[in-house]
């Protein structure tokens, strides 16, 4: 009797869904608490708390529905052998055609959820700024990019697997490594401008303060941009990118609008510079490459496993099907990887906050954290189990406590 791979995979999918739903229910109960955490009383305004509570509860309702539909759809696809049926219907097409079909299916099934999330929930709570025309224009651009970029990448990967022999793992990893560097280089320069407008930050005190801060920590700042994030959403952010001595900082226009003064904005940049100075970006890049190597190694081990393919309804072993099946087989270890990643990420966030404080922005980073928490209507009451498993950033309460005693007068809305 052959091992029931398919049934085990579906079983683990359902177990992970049940576990994560339990955490979601714990967080839902936390969101319904009628009062702020004691440490945020007088720090976060009651009005913002009530708005964030309404927003997060509605997003929670949406999440429950979305996750249930997702697990149901995947279970049906696997149990009723939809993938092998689709493969046969396409007359054993080439891999690119099959991937195109999967992409179309993915877009169709996710579209109602995307539309409802953006044009109902986000709009109702004042975040959505995009029009339906802009939404579909962005989606068209995304599809065009996939059509342009996917064929040569997939073709190269298939050729490596077919011709690489014993060294195919190394060759595939080298391809992933090169692609990572290329995408990190071209995305902010060629791809991101297709969706947003990037303009140099105007001369003035804010620019001078950011440049002085960058110089004080020897950050090789070459360009400083403002991106028109407000054309799509009122959520705010800031980030940096670039290799070696060609670093660039990008501020969302919404961040500039929401912060009370230049010091709060500069404090956010100080936090981001902390990630750079402490090599957090480099550590995550190395970790991702190690993860990619293990992923590729695991795939090459199972891609010729006939009984695995047969359990999923395939009597041949197409390379692209092997990759899809492998993604399902690693479901049991994904929560652990997810958990460890978030643990490290939260530790890095504490370190970056401490770096900003060391630069002299202790009170300003506290004020900016509260400001962004309020403006983004982030959850104020957070279940600890949910936070430990899901959050890449510590909670506001944890971050304020780590930076130091909150200056209520400076941070209150």
| CA torsion angle 57 259 350 399 (round to 10) | -50
Positive or negative, the CA dihedral 17, 23, 27, 30 is positive
Nearest to 208 by CA among 221, 227, 191: 221
Distances (CA, A) of 342 to 3, 90, 156, 245, 336: 34, 40, 32, 29, 10
Six token digits for residue 224? 């400083």
Which candidate in 253, 272, 375, 383 is catalytic? 272
Gap between the Cα atoms of 171 and 175, Å rounded: 6
341 is in an annotated binding site: no
125 is in an annotated binding site: no
Give Dmax over CA atoms of the chain in angstroms: 74
| Count of residues in the chain | 413
- Residue 142 is a catalytic residue: no
Residue 384 CA, chain-centre distance (Å), reads 21
Gap between the Cα atoms of 130 and 119, Å rounded: 9
Six token digits for residue 4? 């029931």
Phi and psi torsions of 237, nearest 5°:
-170, 175
Name the H helices within 164-261.
Answer: 168-186, 205-216, 253-258
Gap between the Cα atoms of 128 and 118, Å rounded: 6
Q: Which position has the token pair 């993860």? A: 291
Which candidate in 122, 253, 353, 383 is catalytic? 353
Query: Secondary structure of the chain: what % helix, strand, coil (to 5)?
Result: 75, 5, 20
Gap between the Cα atoms of 167 and 160, Å rounded: 9
- Residue 272 is a catalytic residue: yes
390 is in an annotated binding site: no
Gap between the Cα atoms of 256 and 259, Å rounded: 6
List residues bridging with 227 in a β-sheet: 198, 252
- Known binding residues for Zn(2+) are 271, 275, 349
Binding site residues, as ranges? 271, 275, 349
Task: Give the residue numbers marked as catalytic.
Answer: 272, 353
């Amino acid at each position: 009797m052959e091992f029931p791979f398919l049934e085990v995979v579906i079983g683990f999918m359902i177990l992970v869904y049940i576990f994560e739903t339990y955490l979601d229910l714990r967080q839902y109960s936390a969101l319904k608490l009628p009062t702020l955490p004691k440490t945020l009383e007088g720090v976060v305004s009651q009005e913002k708390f009530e708005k964030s509570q309404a927003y997060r509860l509605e997003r929670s309702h949406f999440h429950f529905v979305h996750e249930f539909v997702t697990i149901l759809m995947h279970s049906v696809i696997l149990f009723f052998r939809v993938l092998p049926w689709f493969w046969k219907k396409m007359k054993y097409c080439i891999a690119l055609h099959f991937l195109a079909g999967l992409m179309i299916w993915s877009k169709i099934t996710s579209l109602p959820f995307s539309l409802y999330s953006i044009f109902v929930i986000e709009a109702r709570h004042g975040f959505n700024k995009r029009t339906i025309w802009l939404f579909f224009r962005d989606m068209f651009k995304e599809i065009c990019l996939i059509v342009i970029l996917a064929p040569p990448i997939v073709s190269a990967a298939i050729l490596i697997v077919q011709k690489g022999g014993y060294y195919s793992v190394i060759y595939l990893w080298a391809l992933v490594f090169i692609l990572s560097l290329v995408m990190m280089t071209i995305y902010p320069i060629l791809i991101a401008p297709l969706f947003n407008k990037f303009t140099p930050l105007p001369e003035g005190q804010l620019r001078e303060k950011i440049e002085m801060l960058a110089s004080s920590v020897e950050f090789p700042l070459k360009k400083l941009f403002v991106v028109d994030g407000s054309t799509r959403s009122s959520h705010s952010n800031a980030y940096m990118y670039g290799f070696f001595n060609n670093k660039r900082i990008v501020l969302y226009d919404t961040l500039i609008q929401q912060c009370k003064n230049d010091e709060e904005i500069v404090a956010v940049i100080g936090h981001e510079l902390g990630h750079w100075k402490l090599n957090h970006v480099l550590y995550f890049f190395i970790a991702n490459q190690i993860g990619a190597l293990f992923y590729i190694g695991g795939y090459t081990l199972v891609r010729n496993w006939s009984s695995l393919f047969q359990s999923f309804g395939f009597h041949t072993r197409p390379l692209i099907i092997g990759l899809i099946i492998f993604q399902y087989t690693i479901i049991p270890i994904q929560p652990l990887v997810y958990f460890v990643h978030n643990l490290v990420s939260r530790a890095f966030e504490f370190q970056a906050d401490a770096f900003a404080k060391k630069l002299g922005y202790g009170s300003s980073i506290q004020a900016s954290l509260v400001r962004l928490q309020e403006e983004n209507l982030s959850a104020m009451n957070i279940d600890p189990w949910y936070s430990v498993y899901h959050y890449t950033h510590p909670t506001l309460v944890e971050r304020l406590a780590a930076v130091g005693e909150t200056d209520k007068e400076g941070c209150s809305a």
